Amino acid sequence: MKALLVAFIYFTPFIVIGVVVKMIMKQRMKGSSLSDIQQMAGPNRRRRRLFLLGIWRNED
C-alpha cells in the first residue's frame, strides 16, 4: 500500500504539469494551423530531412 502512495506522490506532479502545459498550448494555438506557422517562418526556412518513426521524410 505504501508503494502505491509513493507512486501517486511521485507521478502526480508530472501529470499535472503535463495537463497544464497542454491547456496553455491549446489556448495559445487557437485559430492557428500548421500552414500558418510555416508561413511565419518565411521562405528562407531551413528544409531538412527528418527520420521519423522509421522512415525518412522531407520537411516541406
* pLDDT for res 14: 96
pLDDT of residue 47: 65
**Mean pLDDT estimate for the chain:** 82
pLDDT at 49 (0 to 100): 67
pLDDT at 8: 96
48: left (phi over 0), alpha (psi -120 to 50) or beta: beta
Query: Is the CB of residue 13 less than 8 Å from the CB of residue 26?
Result: no
Report the length, in residues, of the chain: 60
How do residues 28-57 score in pLDDT, each as one tens digit? 888 888 788 777 777 766 666 667 676 766
